Amino acid sequence: TFLLNHSTLRSESASGVWTRGRRRALLGLRARRGRPRRRRRRRRRRRRHHERSVEATGGGGGGPPWCFFPRGYRSYRAENLTATAGGYAALLRRCAATFLPGDVGTLRLDVALETRSRLRFTLRDPARQRYEVPLDTPPAGARAASTLYGLQFNEDPFGLVVYRESTGKVLLNTTVAPLFFADQFLQISTSLPSHFITGLGEHLTSLILDTAWTKITLWNRDMAPPQVNLYGSHPFYLVMEDGGLAHGVFLLNSNAMDVVLQPSPALTWRTTGGILDFYVFLGPDPKSVVRQYLDVVGYPFMPPYWGLGFHLCRWGYSSTAITREVVINMTAARFPLDVQWNDLDYMDAKRDFTFNKKTFKDYPDMVRDFHQNGLRYIMIVDPGISSSGPPGTYKPYDDGLKRGVFIQNATGQPLIGKVWPGPTAYPDFTNPETREWWYDMVKEFHDQVPFDGMWIDMNEPSNFVEGSQDGCPSNNLEDPPYVPGVFGGRLQAGTICASSQQYLSSHYNLHSLYGLTEAIASHDALVRVRGKRPFVISRSTFAGHGRYAGHWTGDVWSDWEQLYYSIPEVLLFNLFGVPLVGADICGFVSDTTEELCVRWTQLGAFYPFMRNHNDHGNRPQEPYAFSPAAQNAMRKALYLRYSLLPYLYTLFHKAHSAGETVARPLFLEFPKDPNTWTVDHQLMWGAGLLITPVLEAGKTKVSGYFPAGTWYSLAGVSASLPICSRQHWADSTIHSKGQWILLPAPLDTINVHVRAGHILPLQEPAFRTVESRKKGMTLTVALTTDGFARGDLFWDDGESLQTFENGDYTQILFLATHVSLLRVNSQVDGLLLKAVTVLGVTSPPRQVLANGALVDDFSYRSDTQVLTIPVSLPMWEQFAITWS
């Protein structure tokens, strides 16, 4: 028996393109609308021969499929289901041959009850070792004693049902459609308990995905348009269930794939290789689902404190003189700046690990001067290594050739593509020797130019020719029987040949891991070279990327639509365990406008990674390039971010140590409120801050959703005064029952609200974090209606390795009731608490004491119910502040 009848759901046929021989993949329905007669002939042929060739919507589009597998289509039969030490095992035998080449007739099913909330099941070919993703995952142990999930198995046709024990709700049901497992085509479908599904990146999309026949293609690609496969692959989804429950599913597979969402609701995985290796996470709440996912792929790395400051870059800073001038202009205009970047301009002939001896002749001195001013420096490094110079003239290629570090073509020679410097070879970062060679190159260049971090771009990997300069061979890896809906129609489009060989396997299997493996190599090289926390930002990503690097969202356009899309992108990457993420502020492609740049800077102040980056040839978009009014608005946003850095840094510590998110969607905090599930025009920082940006031109009001509770509005920070020296709280307090509220939003303001029940540590802003870290601290205490709040602060030196793991840190817990504020467990030296602002004090205090001493100069505003207490207390000592 089954909890869901097999016949109640229809399974879509393969929604990419089946090919025979060297026939090119087509782009699907939209590309064929001009050829209706040919399409009708194809449809008649499919109806007669669906076993041999099936086709449905392609490209990035949606819409109902053109054909279905018939009801009762033969699948696998389960045999010898037995209990094992970790769970269950069985053999699956195909009942009848399919139309697929390389059909695998016998499979082994292994089900592991790994933890109370995590289930893993795999389908493998027992007769032949197939490629499996080389990702470190928790080792299998004994069967969990008790679980949040229950299992049911169906014998013929084989199916697996996973349900939630507490509710009986079916979360995963593979009986809804036939299972396929062939050499280059694997397909499995499941029902979904809800239409509210998110994840499956990287795409420009809303936070909640459309289940009306939406096809999502995963195959890392250097491409900017929406609704196509983009730079990263994250085959993980999270589904919201009734009552605020949630579960997640992760397919550990790196081959090109389609994921098709169907309105039943249902979902079909369709991949072109490897094995089927699934993790199911039972939550029961969405925060727990994310943490359980990160237990598998790894918790994020801890960034250096300076990496949370403001970063500035553009393609077009064509000399050290221009780059220095940018920094001078930022300081003169009183804008904070922590990290200056350079794009390709610094290189000699656009070659890695070189610099132009004319336009950047004082390049090493420039970086050292930046360091003297408390500034950090990062430059771009692409993976493509120039191969066109005479032997002996370019060490990275000469040495790499001797050491065999490059990806090879079918003849065993380095595959040569084309990127910025012209003909290029591609390092194979799955090869241990390549990682050593990469370290050597990084060290030698760092010995000349003491950079602080690495920006790794073009690492999908990108290629300006299709496959290689010599083309690609004709074989089943270049022309597989099924091609997912990749942009360009072929796996080699915009990248290197799928059949090229790497140390661990073919590029066909490893392609989407390229950026991750380069990030690992760069992370490790920086640790060895600098002996401090590494800072790596990468364009290409895969599951587990956050352990090693951050991500920026690529070549975004300077328009309002892309401003909006940046919010779900940031939120999704936090769910994927890559919290250090942000979009190019003001946009990268095309000219920005002043209003757009102001609004983007305001939102960008709440990206975990904040960088303004611009394309060459566009109008300048540095903050100082705009009118005084625009500059004031941007300055306020930057000062606000810098004042909040202690809170942000503490959030990153929680991500690193406990698998939490930094920026998060509202539903993570309020899962029982269904109104929050689709909100993606707002975001939260941790549990305590709600940000409501303006995302449309010409608007001076904005509507935001406020979950039930009390919210205190944080007004803009003065451009000329430090945050601690003035009243910076707005006059309005929102007592919400769970409702949409229209907020004033003049051009110089972004609405930020503090959630009652939270204490935020803040610090006076400065032009550099090296200076702001020495400033006085303040506490903002947002009381609930019953007078409670709590918060914490994580503090270390901001850049040493493994301070948390080595116990070389301070963690401070703040607790408040309506009459007292306590701080415990601190060993912070040199930091002073300068002020405490208490929100929600309902009656005027008669007396305020700090460590028993009377505070005479406190102030209280009855209209806003805000109590401000100036103090000067060492944060390395226990203290208590009371009022009565």
What is the C-alpha separation between 555 and 646, in angstroms, rounded? Answer: 30
Q: At what angle do helices 432-448 and 514-530 cross, to 10 degrees?
A: 50
Amino acid symbol at 653: H
- Please report, to the nearest 10 degrees, the dihedral formed by the alpha carbons of residues 479, 482, 486, 491 taken in order: -20
- Report residue 66 as tokens: 């053109």
Provide the sign of the torsion angle of the four alpha carbons 230, 234, 235, 237, taken in this order: negative
All residues at 6 or more sequence positions from 82 whose CB lies less than 8 Å from its CB, including other chains: 88, 89, 90
The count of other CB atoms within 10 Å of the CB of residue 272 is 26
Helix (H) or strand (E) holding 552: strand 550-552
Q: Outline where 2-98 has alpha helix (H).
A: 36-48
- Which residue, among 779, 784, 760, has the nearest Cα to 869 in the 3D structure? 779
- Closest by CA to 284, choosing from 160, 145, 147, 111, is 147
Q: Among all chains, which residue has been given the structure tokens 């509507």?
A: 703
Euclidean distance between CA atoms 577 and 751, whole angstroms:
27
- Buried/exposed 503-530: b ≥16 CB within 10 Å, e otherwise: bbbbbbbbbbbbbbbbbbbbbbbbeebb
DSSP string, 97-123: --S-TTB--EEEEEEE--SSSEEEEEE
Residue 290's H or E segment, with its range, is: helix 286-297
The Cβ of residue 739 has, within 10 Å, a number of other Cβ atoms equal to 12
- Cβ atoms of residues 838 and 865 within 8 Å: no
460 is a catalytic site residue = yes
Distances (CA, A) of 545 to 118, 245, 655: 21, 27, 14
Host H or E run for residue 872: strand 866-874
Catalytic residue among 241, 457, 569, 796: 457
Rounded CA-CA distance 150/161 in Å is 8
Place of tokens 């895969």: 542
Please state, in angstroms and as integers, the Cα–Cα distance from residue 801 to each residue in 531, 557, 585, following that order. Answer: 7, 37, 30
Instruction: Round to whole Å and give the CA distance between 818 and 329.
Output: 47
Q: Cα separation of 26 and 743, whole Å?
A: 48
What is the three-class DSSP state of 655? helix
Element (H, E) at 633: helix 628-643
Q: How far apart are CA 329 and CA 625, in angstroms?
A: 9
Q: Can you tell me the distance from the alpha carbon of 517 to that of 521, in angstroms, rounded to the nearest whole number?
A: 6
Q: Which residues pair with 701 in a beta bridge?
A: 744
Give residue 80's region: left, alpha or beta (phi > 0; psi -120 to 50). left
- Of 121, 132, 202, 225, residue with least CA distance to 545: 202
Q: Do the beta carbons of residue 473 and residue 410 sit within 8 Å?
A: yes
* Rounded Cα distance, 429 and 405, in Å: 8
Cα distance between residue 177 and residue 54, in whole Å:
15
Rounded CA-CA distance 35/474 in Å is 28
Question: What gap in Å lies between CA 192 and CA 249, rounded to an integer?
Answer: 11
Which residue out of 241, 343, 352, 460 is catalytically annotated?
Answer: 460
Burial of 792: CB neighbours in 10 Å, binned 0-12, 13-18, 19+: middle
Strands 663-664 and 729-736, by their bridges, are unpaired
Query: How many CB atoms are closer than 10 A to CB 695?
Result: 19
Which residue type, as a one-letter code, is found at position 587?
A: G
Residues noted as catalytic: 457, 460
